[in-house]
Amino acid sequence: MSSLHRQLSQLLSAWSWRRRVDVSLCSATGLHLRTYCSTSSEPDPLQVHRRKLFLWFSHLPQEEKQFGGYFSPETMHVDPLIVERKAEERAGLLSSPLQTQPLTSSSVSVEQLFETTDTWNEGRGVNVLLYGAVGTGKSTVVRKLVLDWCLGTGLTHFKLLVPFSCEDLSELSKVASLRDLVSRKYLHLRKHPLLSGEGNQAKDVLFLFNGMEKMKLDFRIGSTELCSDPNEALPPNVVVVNLLRKYLLPEASILVTTRLSAMDRIPQKYVSRYAQICGFNDPGRQRAYFTSRLLQQSGEAARDHEAQALIELLYLNLQRESQLAAACFLPSYCWLTCATLHFLHFTDAKAPIRTLTGIYTSFLRLNFGGEVLGTGAGTNVPLQGHNNSLMLYVVRTVGKMAFEGVTYKRTSFSEKELEQWIGGKTKTDEELHQLAMFRTDVLDFFLAPCVESGKHFPEALSENDEQRYVFAVPAMQEYLAALYVVLGENKSALEKLSKQMSVAIGQAGEDVNALFGILSKFIPLRIFAVFNLLKLFPKLYEKISSHNKGSIARTMATEMFRTEDSYNEDVLDQVEQSLLGVHGPQPQQHSEGPPFELYPIFMGGLLHYGNRVLLQQLGCSIQSTTVVQITRALRKHLVRELSKPQPPEEMMDLLVLLYEFQNPRLTAEVLASMRTIRLTNIRMTSLKCFVLSSVLSCTPTSYHLEELDLSSCLLTHDLLQTLWPAFRHTHNLKLCDNPLLESGACTLLEALPENQSLRHLSLMHTGLGDWGALQLAERLQQHSGLQELNVAYNNIGDNAALALVDACREHPSIHTVHLYLNPLSDVGKQSLYVRGVPSSDGGSGQRVKVLASVTEGSDLSEDWHPILRVIRENALSWDRQRVQQQLKVFLRDLEWGRQQQQSLWKRLHFRRVEKGVRQTLKLLEKDPPPPPTGYRM
């Protein structure tokens, strides 16, 4: 589908969807269509309210654009499990994310919580408290609830729904009445009689307060005065308290959502019903979520088929009760799983740039944006400065533990270790309140009980029967460890002291000497000597700081090129396996502990400006000077490491690091030291091809690689299109052992004219066939710099081979053509050798060396040795029967040529080559066949 056609289809779909919405909004409330659509000067305020609420709540956050924007909120919603709790068991939690036993409490929908019961008081509305831990889906449930009411498909017995954000209410400093609070956000409801307090009209009103933990509600009479007048101006928290007391608009119903730690801030007597959001407690809900996300593609059949295959693999992994199933108990981690898989499999070169680091940063912003660590019930002293950021608290506790785990190559932690890292050295009551809230609301979000025992655990720990905990998804440990380092939280004591002193000196201004005079009276002489050195600030502190940034860069480079991790699969494949599971033989691990190869890549990605902006919103600041210092040091370390040859997996990881960094200048400077990129046997995907092209696109037009080796990478026609920019930068391009076929050959030939520096092109074993060879012959003149062409083992017959050699002879610079292992007849081979030599009558063309066999007529080919070497290197991965057949043809050619020789020396030479061919045949007969990986033809 063309881009224009796709855009037109999307516009038509959006128009028809909006039209359906408008019609449903008119008809959902039981009113005639003309009431809503008429040109009356006074539209119904409730209809205006429904329309505006729908527009506000159907707006998706920026992070949802990870999925291409082909769906609406109602098409992607899956209801989490909601369990009604009795008052005495309201704090109870499910015993395990993978709980299979029946629940003692009943599962309900939010609408059922407002149904009339035997205990319902006719004159009083219902107060429902909906609570749950971070990530269980409270905000999503609220959004769907509001949208259903707007469409008339839910909570239909309420004429008016008034949602409030408690975060917004907590920021209000002025007093206001209830009607003022409503009209401030919903001006069209300013004079609505349902909010007047007269009669029992308020029974048709539902107030929704989302995120109650952000407000300091005090139900003590001495602290919060009583109020029954909707027009009386009071602080917002007092208004909310009186609504919950049923002193203000007692007929109105109220839905409050809050985190676990704050649910007891509302006294039990003011709560009619408790309900707990428990996430996705079974694979069925998880699969429904994945289906609603991953199948919402552009409508292309190929993508839908791939998405369906991904869903099946995910479901198999979940059914095995894997660690992923424990993580996806929280809908938030289902979102992260879908976003990561969409990134890995549906990267579109035309879409905005996305990175893995950006996905994880967005994930944390979705769950912790604006969240602060309160002081707990009964305390009114707020934390000072940026220390109240919940995300920063996570970094300093969970992040520190993650960093220690990465340092010592550990993925699991005991309860005692959790107590050590998370509990820390708490001293004050305020710190204890914060710790209790963090444990209740947040800790289970990052850590889950280990369900895959014995994996990567030290023997001493595996023998212990105590419960161990792991990060919900493995990559989260590496992300938080990287964030801990980049934020500079692993400072030495001297660095921390110098930073504190720099702040003190800055505040003292001209009274620096007086400050040191005072400090010298209270501080021992030995320690004060350090303070005296810090009087040289900023030079000394800058030196210490620069050293710290240099150590971060050195850590990134060291972790990137760990020798013990060199033979692991590349990081993108590791991420995919952690989500989809490993099917077939387990990948061989060459290190005792788990590889933490994402750790340095995340450190690089966190330095990107876009991620720093998101982290700033979370209260985690990475200064530009820090980025400059780390970048400068990293460039030096990377250039030094790249002076050594790197395995293909390590090279792919380096490309991912440069891509995640999103720093074109750094990328160009690092690539300037590279002359070869070998990615042999890397399973290239659309994302990896896009990464390679994006990285090489950062280089100037004058930059060229000596060699770009993409052999045995499972490249197809579609992937070649993504690689077009990469093909412009190489002298020697190897695409051997890839299923390019005829269509791929055409795509490649369309891309190559932009590269006028190409010297050597290898298309050995790519399935070109006769048609592909003829297409190549027609377009060779467009590649004026080409010198050597390898189309061996491509099922090319006599006629196509002759046409290709003729085209090469007319080419200004091609001197060698590889055609061995093709089904050529003896007459065809002889004709090729003759065609490769210009006629003696001075005809056009130049001499072209044709390598079609180990012999040339009755003589040995001078290139027999490189031909046999290529066959030996690839014989075990090629079609054995086909290769054996071609080797037997070589033996026949050698035997016939030896019989034609009169010289004993030449006969002995023929015997030597025959011996080499027979040894290769024995190798094929002796060794077992390889596993079915790579391209076989």
**Domain 739-852: which CATH number of 3.40.190.10, 3.80.10.10, 3.10.28.10, 3.40.30.10:** 3.80.10.10
* Residues 6 or more apart whose Cβ sits within 8 Å of residue 315: 283, 286, 287, 290
The per-residue pLDDT for 126 is: 93
The per-residue pLDDT for 30 is: 38
CA 268, 270, 273, 277 dihedral sign is negative
Q: Where are the beta strands (DSSP E) in 229-357?
A: 253-258, 273-277
The per-residue pLDDT for 629 is: 84
The DSSP call for residue 349 is: T
Element (H, E) at 676: strand 676-678
The token pair that represents 426 in the structure block: 């708490």
The token pair that represents 630 in the structure block: 């780390």
Place of tokens 């377009």: 779
Rounded mean pLDDT, 201-213: 93
Place of tokens 């690539």: 671
Angle at the Cα of 835 from the Cα atoms of 832 and 841, rounded to 5 degrees:
160
- Whole-prediction pTM: 0.83
pLDDT 10s digits, 761-789 = 999 889 999 999 999 998 888 877 889 99
Rounded mean pLDDT, 700-705: 88
The per-residue pLDDT for 876 is: 64
* Residues 6 or more apart whose Cβ sits within 8 Å of residue 328: 280, 286, 318, 334, 337
Tell whether the model's pLDDT for residue 573 goes beyond 50: yes
Separation between Cα atoms, residue 908 and residue 443, nearest integer Å: 77
- Which of 66-75, 87-96, 281-290, 920-929 is the least confident region? 87-96
82-85 and 273-277 strand pairing? antiparallel
Separation between Cα atoms, residue 59 and residue 519, nearest integer Å: 56
Separation between Cα atoms, residue 836 and residue 313, nearest integer Å: 53
Cβ(678)–Cβ(709) below 8 Å: yes
680 compared with 843, residue with greater pLDDT: 680
The token pair that represents 129 in the structure block: 């408290």
501 compared with 644, residue with greater pLDDT: 644
The per-residue pLDDT for 74 is: 60
Rounded mean pLDDT, 179-203: 90
- pLDDT-derived band of residue 439, with 50, 70 and 90 as boundaries? confident
Cβ(773)–Cβ(747) below 8 Å: no
Q: How many Cβ atoms sit within 10 Å of the Cβ of residue 14?
A: 12
User: In Å, what is the CA distance from 818 to each residue of 166, 829, 834?
Assistant: 73, 12, 15
Any idea of the CA torsion for 396, 401, 403, 406, to the nearest 10 degrees? Answer: -170
Separation between Cα atoms, residue 702 and residue 728, nearest integer Å: 10
pLDDT 10s digits, 32-54 = 333 334 344 678 899 999 999 99
The per-residue pLDDT for 453 is: 46
Element (H, E) at 857: none
Checking 201-204 for CB contacts under 8 A at 24+ apart, the result is 201/251, 202/125, 202/249, 202/250, 202/251, 202/252, 203/125, 203/251, 203/252, 203/253, 204/157, 204/158, 204/159, 204/160
852 compared with 610, residue with greater pLDDT: 610
Angle at the Cα of 829 from the Cα atoms of 826 and 831, rounded to 5 degrees:
110
The per-residue pLDDT for 481 is: 94
Cis peptide before 538 (omega within 30 of 0): yes
Our measurement of the distance from residue 393's CA atom to the centroid of its chain's CA atoms, rounded to an integer in Å, reads 23
Cβ(825)–Cβ(792) below 8 Å: no
The token pair that represents 281 in the structure block: 């407690």
Rounded mean pLDDT, 907-916: 84
- Which of 277-281, 403-407, 803-807 is the least confident region? 277-281
* φ, ψ for residue 362, nearest 5 deg: -65, -40
pLDDT 10s digits, 243-274 = 999 999 999 999 999 988 888 899 999 999 99
CA 199, 200, 205, 211 dihedral sign is positive
The token pair that represents 568 in the structure block: 């692991």
Rounded mean pLDDT, 677-696: 93
Tell me the β-bridge partners of 208. Answer: 163, 255
* Residues 6 or more apart whose Cβ sits within 8 Å of residue 21: 54, 151
633 compared with 591, residue with greater pLDDT: 633
45-90+105-278 and 739-852 have identical folds: no
Our measurement of the distance from residue 465's CA atom to the centroid of its chain's CA atoms, rounded to an integer in Å, reads 34
Report which of 549, 677, 684 is spatially closest to residue 603, judged by C-alpha positions. Answer: 549
The DSSP call for residue 387 is: G
Tell whether the model's pLDDT for residue 699 goes beyond 80: yes
Rounded mean pLDDT, 723-752: 86
Rounded mean pLDDT, 138-167: 92
Give me the percent of the chain exceeding a pLDDT of 70: 77
The per-residue pLDDT for 505 is: 44
31 compared with 896, residue with greater pLDDT: 896
- pLDDT-derived band of residue 927, with 50, 70 and 90 as boundaries? low
- pLDDT-derived band of residue 25, with 50, 70 and 90 as boundaries? very low
Interhelix angle for 598-606 vs 356-368, to 10°?
70
- pLDDT-derived band of residue 666, with 50, 70 and 90 as boundaries? very high
- pLDDT-derived band of residue 14, with 50, 70 and 90 as boundaries? very low
Give me the percent of the chain exceeding a pLDDT of 90: 32
Q: How many C-alpha atoms does 846 have within 13 Å on its Cβ side? A: 11
* N-term to C-term CA, the chain: 31
* φ, ψ for residue 709, nearest 5 deg: -105, 110
Place of tokens 């707007």: 150
The domain covering 45-90+105-278 belongs, at the CATH homologous superfamily level, to P-loop containing nucleotide triphosphate hydrolases (3.40.50.300)
- pLDDT-derived band of residue 514, with 50, 70 and 90 as boundaries? low
**Residue 703 burial (10 A CB sphere; 0-12, 13-18, 19+):** middle
* φ, ψ for residue 602, nearest 5 deg: -65, -35
Cβ(194)–Cβ(249) below 8 Å: no
Look at residue 30 and give its three-state secondary structure: coil
Tell whether the model's pLDDT for residue 880 goes beyond 80: no
Give me the residue spans of the domains in the chain: 45-90+105-278, 283-351, 739-852, 863-928
- The answer for 441, left when phi > 0, alpha when psi is -120 to 50, beta otherwise, is alpha
- Give me the DSSP letters along 72-120: -GGGS--PPPEEEE-GGGTT---S-TT--SPPSSPB--TGGGGS--TT-
Separation between Cα atoms, residue 169 and residue 25, nearest integer Å: 29
The per-residue pLDDT for 545 is: 54
270 compared with 106, residue with greater pLDDT: 270
- pLDDT-derived band of residue 559, with 50, 70 and 90 as boundaries? confident
User: In Å, what is the CA distance from 506 to each residue of 70, 491, 502, 535, 620?
Assistant: 52, 21, 6, 11, 22
Cβ(860)–Cβ(884) below 8 Å: no
The per-residue pLDDT for 344 is: 92
Cβ(98)–Cβ(327) below 8 Å: no
